[in-house]
Structure 1
Amino acid sequence: MKSNLPLNKLLLILALNPVQISFADDIQAGKFYEEALQSYRNQNNAEAIIQLKNALQQNERYVSAHMLLGEIYLQQKSLTEAEVQLSLAKQLGADPSLIAENLAKLYTYQIRYNDLLKEIDPAQFNSGLRPVLHVYRGNAYLQLNLISEALNEFDIALQIAPNQVNAAIGRANALLKRGDIKGADQAAEKAMQMQANDAGVWYAKGSIKHANMELDEALKFYDKAIELNPAHVDTRLARAGLLMDLKRDERARQDLEYMRQAYPFEPKAAYLHAVLLERNNQREAATKELEVAADIITGIKPEYLSAHGPTLMLSGLVNYSLQRFDLAAEYLRQYVKQYPEQSGPYKLLATILLQKNEPEQAIDLLRPMQIRNPQDQRLAFLLGSAFMQAGKHDMANNLFGKAAALGNESGSLQTEIGLNRLAMGQEQAAVQDLEVAFKKNPDAIQAGIPLVALYMSRGEPEKALKTAQALHEKASKNFTLLNLLGTAQVNTGQYKQARQSFEKAIELNPNFLDAQINLSKLDVGENKLDQARQRLQILQQNYPGDIDILIELAKVEQSAGRYQAANDWLAKAKMMDQKSLPTLLALVELNLKMGKAAEANAAAQAAEMIDKNNPQVIDALARSYLANNNKEKALGVFIRMADQARFNVKQLYKAARYQIDAGDYFEAIKTLKKAVLVDENHIPSQIALVEMELNHGKPVFALSRAESLLKQYPKRAFPHRLLGNIADHDKNLSLANSHYQAAFELEPDTTSLMLLYENLKKIDQPDKAFNLLDQWIKKHPQDQLPMAAFADELLKSGKFKEAEKHYVELLKQFPNEPQFLNNLAYVYLNTGNDKALSLAEQAHKLAPDQPSTNDTLGWILVNTGQIEQGLHYLRNAHSLLSQDPEIRYHIAVALNHLQRKDEAKQELEEALKTNTGFNGRELAKALLEQLRP
């Protein structure tokens, strides 16, 4: 039926129909929303999403549905979807207080820290929400490396809500990032008192332990944090990194796989996972993970990315690993502009520029950084590589020499990690990483060359030689590797082979100065000083502007005892460059050798003005102060050396050794404690700390630490040696013997042998001690220290012919060792060899202040009829070692020859007062009987 309505009625109906439909839709939308809310509360997010989408189909302007859907997506880490829903809610007029926290969280995940700081103003909200938002702002400032601003936000949060645990945690993290470990620990303790079951508290405590290198303790805290909150992203990443450092790859993999699933937008998780896969030879999977990380980074808006330094750096690493060098270089250029003080990114950027064949850009980039960091081997190597690529070979060779010939290959991720750790002074970890990298790719000289240098510096010459040989076999025409091989051969005593390697390097490149100089050093080592001098003088004529040649000439003259000639060469070098650190340091050494302490100190202070932070300069300065009897200043410099070492365990250990030598035992213990905190696997520091605690600190601490080391290294000898030393200190010789025996059985080396030998003599088992040395020498005829001890035993027991054989052998290796010359002279005296006097004179000339050389020379003179001359040396010997009964016996014989019978009798009585045995004791008794009335 047709109805005709008035116009006004029709208009009213048209106006009301949308409202009526909207009411109907809203009713249905409301039902869907309530069902979604119930599903959400029952943790059934999948069903909740379906119902919310149904609600929005009924009413696309349903603000509550947008807000809840945004929150669920945020929980699921679906950031793009979350951003859409929260933005719509905001546009539709949602109460800002209902979405502010979720927006802050979203911006944090998206690294939109500047947006967070710009848009989230806590002052607009109530006191319940304000502290939470101040914490988000504090964390944003922290990510932007604005520590003071971050602390201000956390402090405001705590003023509003004194029990706001996240603010206390934020303070701890900010103080730790500033380097205030004590303050960070106090803040973390305060947070712990507020809420002991908060995962963030345990993460903060773990981070502090991690920074202190208390790795096992850090791991415990991280484990607890994840137990409390398995989704705590910072802890997961930190624990994964720590587990990777500890080589606990399976546990690290579990954390990273969890992260990849729970936080798919986190590029660092993908990158670390790639590193782990690469380390375990899963290269294809590693590449895929790197591509995932790169895709995540690509999805970050450039303005957000450029504002966040850590992600910029990560972007450079990821793209570099994927060999996307243009992108990597762009990211790294942005990073170094923001953080110009960090050398690591410069090195990576330079490596990329070299691979892109842009050496001039690399030179421009690295030159200022290398000047600021002249001791950074990696920087020097990269700059050398840039010069080589640019065809400037002289500059390249010079820098390669200064950098100890670090490699020039891009290498694997493992190599880069190892080199970075090496730059930080973490040698043990660097060695482990580089060994893995080199094992994977024996062609990789970037891993191989620093491995050789590390092995040599750590006293592992055989490993160094093996690695150098492997490198050379892969590139037999590489003169730099030949030079490296020669250096490794020198370290193992293969002088003939080393000379051949250096000569072959020069044959390949006649202008290769490093090998030429190494040949001269080899000449000096073989006591061919004239040959070394001649070689260097020819080089100096061909390269008159090369300071290194002048310095080496000075060293040759110094070795020859021609100190003035050495000084002349160094003066010439100084005229060429007043600010040459190598020249000034060489002047310090020469003047110390000449006894010119004031001149040495002046040179050291001049070097300090050029580079006050250079470890070699600090070292020279301290020793020059000691030479000037200014112990107070020297000790101050040693403390400075320890402070500047920071996390470089090798430098810390060196500083501690100096402090020990200077008698500053309290500071030495402090320095060694810092060293073992930095790297608990640095065994020399652990050993030195136990020894210092035992002799100059608290022996109970020494015992505790040694026992702990035994648990940590049950198959190593050194914990047993330390425990043996502690037992010896406590006069428990039987227990000491047990430990020394255990050490020798675990590692039958010279150190354990000599400790066991000395202890056997202490517990009155001389025959066993003698047999121990006898058996060792038969198996190890080239081991000089036991051979010297064995020769001494033979000498004391009157077995002169056998002793002679060993001393002759020892003198082949050490022709200028006064002890061996002296003892052989004594042997010859007793065997009737007329060379006795000339050997004794030679020994005395080399060591005129040793009682033994004076006694032997004097005794030989007495026995050859030169009584008065002999008595002079014997008196010298007695004045140097008055308690030695044998010297008194020798004096008595001389006095008796001079008819000074009463004096001779007195000397004999003093010599025979003790029960100490000595050569000639029975003869002394007989002579005394003759002299008695």
Structure 2
Amino acid sequence: MRISKLSSRITFGTWLLVAGIAPINYALADDVLAGQYYERALQAYREHNNEAAIIELKNALQQNERYVAAHVLLGDIYLQQKSLSETEVQLNLAKQLGADPSLIVENLAKLYTYEIRYNDLIKEIDPVKFNNELRPILHVYRGNAYLQLNQISEALNEFDSAAQIDPSHVAAVVGRANALLKRGDRKGADLAADKAMQIQPDDHGAWFAKGSIKHANMELEEALKFYDKAVELNPDHVDTRLARAGLLMDLKQDDKAKQDLEYVRKAYPFEPKAAYLNAVLLDKNKQKEAAAKELVAAADIISSIKPEYLSAHGSTLMLSGLVNYSLQRFDLAAEYLRLYVKQFPEQSGPYTLLATILLKKNEPEQAIELLRPIQIHNPQDSRLAYLLGNAFMQAGKHDMANIMFGKAAALGDGKGSLQAEIGLNRLAMGQEQAATQDLEAAYKQNPDSLQAGIPLVALKMSQGDSESALQIAQTLYKKASKNLTLLNLLGTAQVSHGQYKQARQSFEKAIELDPNFLAAQINLSKLDVGENKFDQARQRLQALNQKDPNNLDILVELAKVEQSAGRLDAASDWLERAKKLDLKSLPVLLASVDLNLKMGKVSEATAAAQAAEALDKNNLHVIDALARSYLASNNREKALGVFVRMADQARFNVKQLYKAARYQIDAGDYYEAIKTLKKAVLVDEGHIPSQIALVEMELNHGKPVFAASRAESLMKRYPKRAFPRQLLGDVALHDQNFSLANSHYQAAFELEPNTTSLMQLYDSLYKTNQPDKAFTLLEQWVKKKHSQDYVPMAAFANELLKSGNFKEAEKYYDLLLKQYPNEPQFLNNLAYTYLNLGNNKALSLAEQAHKLAPGQAATNDTLGWILVNSGQAEQGLHYLRNAHSLQSQDPEIRYHIGVALSKMQRNDEARQELEQALKANTLFNGRDQAKVLLEKLR
């Protein structure tokens, strides 16, 4: 079972049976009723009465719409019935509610196969994420998808991967036979099919493969015999039915062919091949009208399948220009940039790069021709004047060059202004590293320059260099201590550096100088919220609202305060007041999106996001809100499209590209995420978060060899930083070289002893069977150095639990809950601690944890197990079912289910659960008790 999200890698599961727990709370009544409906549905399902099961499951979901186990089972039944849209709804809901992916991934693969969504299957289903029981069949699904896309080599790789895990996996061998046949290697295909039949003589796939080979060799009668046997073994296999129908048509046995086609049309109404073949058969038998209808049906089916396509984007043109420029392929770079400026003539930035290239190519006349009209339309742009001056000088037109250089100087102040302008332009284009260098150079030339200093502070904060940001902010403020903007900037830098007390003093001083200085007031309210002083923040903003009731910024900030305080209705009231003032305010609409999503009002959130899009479709905050709304409404396809748009819109803004990639990762669109991250590192190879994310994505969802190579390159570039070592540790961990991983993590920790490197080292020590060292590492960190570092503290509390030191664990969970009073896993773990200490508060804490996090396996298991041990097995079983649906590979949960079923006298089911728990052959608390109970039940 997992502890807090603050330390998601750490797990525990140590449970004891105790008596004396209080009876069930009335608030659980709906869940109990839902559990009863689910148990009846499960019984009907096992008796193959799917219609009755559906009714019971719908009843269960009426009582508790978040009942994960019910969604999982309902999705399975709908898929059996080939109700694809209903299947997708249930699988998406289960996934959204946190269902264990291993329970739904195979059904998802089947669904994508039925819907001919082969690229989605390949992109979204990663066998590496699952255990060796599931991985072979997932490789086979991917192999078959590649086969349908005519990517034979990739298909063979998948089938071989499955066979490496399980050489007796007949579907992998059959897949190989089909792939070889499609490649034209009939001899190899025949050998593979024979091998499949040796492994499993009654496998329909092997018989189908043999039939396909005979069919390809034009041995039609022999092929028919194999197809007949395959259909006999599996009447529902669509490929065999279609192949046999085609063969029967060739053999002029149309009546038999018609039977196969009618079967497929009924069982697989979404299969266009069946409709098409049926049209051919009808036409062949002079049934023109019926044939035409079938062709229309086939066309309708095909039109419902959204084809995947790639389209060129302006950002790609610009990116190509930048890449080729970096490679000094100036001709290509110029070609791409010319295409770009034709599409986006309003942007001056690309013209400067194109002009620079033309000057490097010694083509000053072309540079002049390019820049003159742009400079006329942008007379205040010093960088254009400067470049045009260079072009005139290179062309030998010194008088014009002097005029342009004079304009550039006049636009600046001769003290770094031009450099700052160029830096700001690069910042606008998203070239953050280059912008930082330019602004640093400008600031060095003139430390009094606010033009360079203010954006440099913001850049340094965004890059995590809070110390440099604070130093610059302090320098700027000392030279202009009455400047409210600089005082507010100083406060912001102090917050970034963790100096909250000093930040509060800065903001308060700014308000003393000008009580109406709104920015400082709002920043103070944000500090209040960060310290959970919600009443103080509310009072501060309400006083401002009384003075200025029509100020939208204040109303929006009040809504955010109430939202943070958990007073969602009050937040809604403030936003309603803001809407009455301005229905088309972007900040109001975006705040409405956030609040409605928090309240579960998905349709309202989507409507607000769409209204914002109508106002400014290119605003990245709007695109962000729209994507989150689509995700919440289970419209994943639209959300993924918006994320791609976000990446395109980001153009050369590396931070926005990185943000888009993070969304794509969270949505599981790993293919697009890798593409976006590659763009980001091409734009700015010094953007470390993008580099790290790209290594992680290539390692886990792309090409691990690329990840290893990039990590090695980063190691050479940043030899004194920890993150390359951490990435190399991740690579070694992926290769199951635990000793090497531990070495890298140790080096990273020594270079930068922080929470991240500590927890990675802690984890690797466990993987290399050094639990004592892992415990000591945490103990020294928590007790001697970092008593306020709550992530290691949570892990240390967990270690105390595992060692049975409950009194000491209670002390640390009390500390954690003082800091995070509503953290469900800390409440859950303290409930477990109380369980072992005999404290009758265990049940109430478990209920509180579950209420806060009903979608976590740990809270369901804890509450269910406490109820089972208090004599309320039926009530507890509901939560244990949900826990299993969320974390199906945990044998301890199955043990708990077995105990509950045993107490309910459902001994056959209890025995099955206990057998599955013990089959895992892994240690879990209660394993010995499970063995004893199983022997008793046998």
TM-score range, shorter chain: 0.5 to 0.7
What's 1:797 paired with? 803
What's 2:758 paired with? 753
Q: Write out aligned runs for 1:710-749 (5 A).
A: 710-749=715-754
Q: What is the deviation of 1:766?
A: 1.9
Q: Per the alignment, do residues 318 and 605 of structure 1 end up closer, same or farther by CA in structure 2, a change over 3 Å counting? A: same
What's 1:812 paired with? 818
The answer as to whether partners of 1:796 and 1:919 remain within 8 angstroms in 2 is: no
Task: Name which of 823, 842, 847 aligns with 1:836.
Answer: 842
- 1:700 and 2:693 matched: no
Q: Write out aligned runs for 1:671-682 (5 A).
A: 671-682=676-687
Q: What is the deviation of 1:803?
A: 2.1
Task: Name which of 500, 516, 521 aligns with 2:505.
Answer: 500
Task: Name which of 467, 483, 486 aligns with 1:481.
Answer: 486
Q: Write out aligned runs for 1:50-129 (5 A).
A: none
What's 2:309 paired with? none
Q: Distance in 2 between matches of 1:809 and 1:177?
A: 50
Letter in 2 for 1:316: K
Q: Write out aligned runs for 1:840-855 (5 A).
A: 840-855=846-861
Q: Return the index of the structure with the highest Cα Rg.
A: 1
Q: Per the alignment, do residues 457 and 696 of structure 1 end up closer, same or farther by CA in structure 2, a change over 3 Å counting? A: same
The answer as to whether partners of 2:431 and 2:684 remain within 8 angstroms in 1 is: yes
Q: Write out aligned runs for 1:591-630 (5 A).
A: 591-630=596-635
Task: Name which of 377, 401, 410 aligns with 1:319.
Answer: 410
Q: Per the alignment, do residues 896 and 429 of structure 1 end up closer, same or farther by CA in structure 2, a change over 3 Å counting? A: same
Q: What is the deviation of 1:594?
A: 2.3
Q: Distance in 2 between matches of 1:824 and 1:831?
A: 10
Q: Distance in 2 between matches of 1:497 and 1:893?
A: 57
CA RMSD of aligned residues (A): 4.3
- 1:420 and 2:546 matched: no
What's 1:234 paired with? 360
What's 2:209 paired with? none
Task: Name which of 459, 474, 479 aligns with 1:454.
Answer: 459
Could you list the per-position Cα deviations for residues 334-387 of structure 1 after superposition, in whole angstroms to 9, with x for gaps in the alignment? xxxxxxxxxxxxxxxxxxxxxxxxxxxxxxxxxxxxxxxxxxxxxxxxxxxxxx
Q: Which runs of 5 or more structure 2 residues have no equivalent in the other structure?
A: 1-313, 340-357, 365-381
Q: Per the alignment, do residues 454 and 628 of structure 1 end up closer, same or farther by CA in structure 2, a change over 3 Å counting? A: same
Q: Distance in 2 between matches of 1:824 and 1:211?
A: 64
Could you list the per-position Cα deviations for residues 505-533 of structure 1 after superposition, in whole angstroms to 9, with x for gaps in the alignment? 21221111122222222332233333333
Q: Distance in 1 between matches of 2:885 and 2:391?
A: 78
Could you list the per-position Cα deviations for residues 410-443 of structure 1 after superposition, in whole angstroms to 9, with x for gaps in the alignment? 8655544433332222222333444455566555
Letter in 1 for 2:891: P
The answer as to whether partners of 1:796 and 1:918 remain within 8 angstroms in 2 is: no
Q: Distance in 1 between matches of 2:693 and 2:800?
A: 33
Q: Distance in 2 between matches of 1:752 and 1:511?
A: 45
The answer as to whether partners of 2:606 and 2:626 remain within 8 angstroms in 1 is: yes
Q: Write out aligned runs for 1:532-547 (5 A).
A: 532-547=537-552
Q: What is the deviation of 1:606?
A: 1.7
Could you list the per-position Cα deviations for residues 867-921 of structure 1 after superposition, in whole angstroms to 9, with x for gaps in the alignment? 6655554444344334433334445666677787887676555544444333454
- 1:644 and 2:649 matched: yes
Q: What is the deviation of 1:748?
A: 2.5
Letter in 1 for 2:406: S
Q: Per the alignment, do residues 470 and 904 of structure 1 end up closer, same or farther by CA in structure 2, a change over 3 Å counting? A: farther
Q: Write out aligned runs for 1:162-173 (5 A).
A: none
The answer as to whether partners of 1:642 and 1:652 remain within 8 angstroms in 2 is: yes
- Of stretches 854-863 and 752-761 in structure 1, the one that deviates more from structure 2 is 854-863
Q: What is the deviation of 1:546?
A: 0.5
Q: Per the alignment, do residues 790 and 474 of structure 1 end up closer, same or farther by CA in structure 2, a change over 3 Å counting? A: farther
The answer as to whether partners of 1:588 and 1:603 remain within 8 angstroms in 2 is: yes
Could you list the per-position Cα deviations for residues 92-123 of structure 1 after superposition, in whole angstroms to 9, with x for gaps in the alignment? xxxxxxxxxxxxxxxxxxxxxxxxxxxxxxxx
Q: Write out aligned runs for 1:292-371 (5 A).
A: 314-322=405-413
Q: Per the alignment, do residues 864 and 452 of structure 1 end up closer, same or farther by CA in structure 2, a change over 3 Å counting? A: farther
Q: Per the alignment, do residues 836 and 567 of structure 1 end up closer, same or farther by CA in structure 2, a change over 3 Å counting? A: same
Q: Distance in 2 between matches of 1:574 and 1:617?
A: 17
Q: Distance in 1 between matches of 2:623 and 2:813?
A: 41
Could you list the per-position Cα deviations for residues 655-708 of structure 1 after superposition, in whole angstroms to 9, with x for gaps in the alignment? 222222223322222222221111111111122222222222222222222222
What's 2:134 paired with? none
Q: Per the alignment, do residues 673 and 514 of structure 1 end up closer, same or farther by CA in structure 2, a change over 3 Å counting? A: same
Q: What is the deviation of 1:818?
A: 1.0
The answer as to whether partners of 1:604 and 1:624 remain within 8 angstroms in 2 is: yes
Q: Distance in 2 between matches of 1:662 and 1:900?
A: 40
Letter in 1 for 2:785: K
The answer as to whether partners of 1:597 and 1:627 remain within 8 angstroms in 2 is: yes
Letter in 2 for 1:317: A
Could you list the per-position Cα deviations for residues 443-497 of structure 1 after superposition, in whole angstroms to 9, with x for gaps in the alignment? 5444443233223323344444444444444444443333333333444444444
Q: Distance in 1 between matches of 2:384 and 2:895?
A: 79
Q: Per the alignment, do residues 207 and 808 of structure 1 end up closer, same or farther by CA in structure 2, a change over 3 Å counting? A: farther
Per the alignment, in what secondary structure is the counterpart of residue 664 of structure 2? Answer: helix
Q: What is the deviation of 1:620?
A: 1.5
- Of stretches 789-798 and 694-703 in structure 1, the one that deviates more from structure 2 is 694-703
Could you list the per-position Cα deviations for residues 270-290 of structure 1 after superposition, in whole angstroms to 9, with x for gaps in the alignment? 989xxxxxxxxxxxxxxxxxx
Q: Distance in 1 between matches of 2:630 and 2:796?
A: 40
Q: Which runs of 5 or more structure 1 residues have no equivalent in the other structure?
A: 1-175, 190-200, 213-231, 239-266, 273-291, 306-310, 324-409
Letter in 2 for 1:771: T
The answer as to whether partners of 1:757 and 1:773 remain within 8 angstroms in 2 is: yes
Letter in 1 for 2:539: Q
Q: Per the alignment, do residues 179 and 863 of structure 1 end up closer, same or farther by CA in structure 2, a change over 3 Å counting? A: closer
Letter in 1 for 2:833: V
- 1:565 and 2:603 matched: no
Could you list the per-position Cα deviations for residues 213-256 of structure 1 after superposition, in whole angstroms to 9, with x for gaps in the alignment? xxxxxxxxxxxxxxxxxxx9736999xxxxxxxxxxxxxxxxxx
Q: Which has the higher contact order (CA 8 A, sep 6+)?
A: 2
What's 2:579 paired with? 574
How many residue pairs align between the two structures? 588
Q: What is the deviation of 1:549?
A: 1.1
Q: Per the alignment, do residues 186 and 458 of structure 1 end up closer, same or farther by CA in structure 2, a change over 3 Å counting? A: closer
- 1:786 and 2:803 matched: no
Per the alignment, in what secondary structure is the counterpart of residue 743 of structure 1? Answer: helix
- Of stretches 864-873 and 572-581 in structure 1, the one that deviates more from structure 2 is 864-873
Q: What is the deviation of 1:313?
A: 5.9
Q: What is the deviation of 1:826?
A: 1.5
Q: Distance in 2 between matches of 1:725 and 1:831?
A: 39
Q: What is the deviation of 1:829?
A: 2.5
Q: What is the deviation of 1:548?
A: 0.8
Per the alignment, in what secondary structure is the counterpart of residue 694 of structure 1? Answer: helix
Q: Distance in 2 between matches of 1:186 and 1:457?
A: 29
Q: Per the alignment, do residues 509 and 783 of structure 1 end up closer, same or farther by CA in structure 2, a change over 3 Å counting? A: same
What's 2:518 paired with? 513
Q: Distance in 1 between matches of 2:934 and 2:769?
A: 29
Percent identical among aligned pairs is 72
Letter in 2 for 1:782: Q
What's 1:822 paired with? 828
Could you list the per-position Cα deviations for residues 301-358 of structure 1 after superposition, in whole angstroms to 9, with x for gaps in the alignment? 98x57xxxxx8764332234456xxxxxxxxxxxxxxxxxxxxxxxxxxxxxxxxxxx
TM-score, scaled relative to structure 1: 0.56
The answer as to whether partners of 1:826 and 1:836 remain within 8 angstroms in 2 is: yes
Q: What is the deviation of 1:570?
A: 1.9
Per the alignment, in what secondary structure is the counterpart of residue 714 of structure 1? Answer: coil
Q: Per the alignment, do residues 815 and 182 of structure 1 end up closer, same or farther by CA in structure 2, a change over 3 Å counting? A: closer
Task: Name which of 664, 669, 673 aligns with 1:664.
Answer: 669
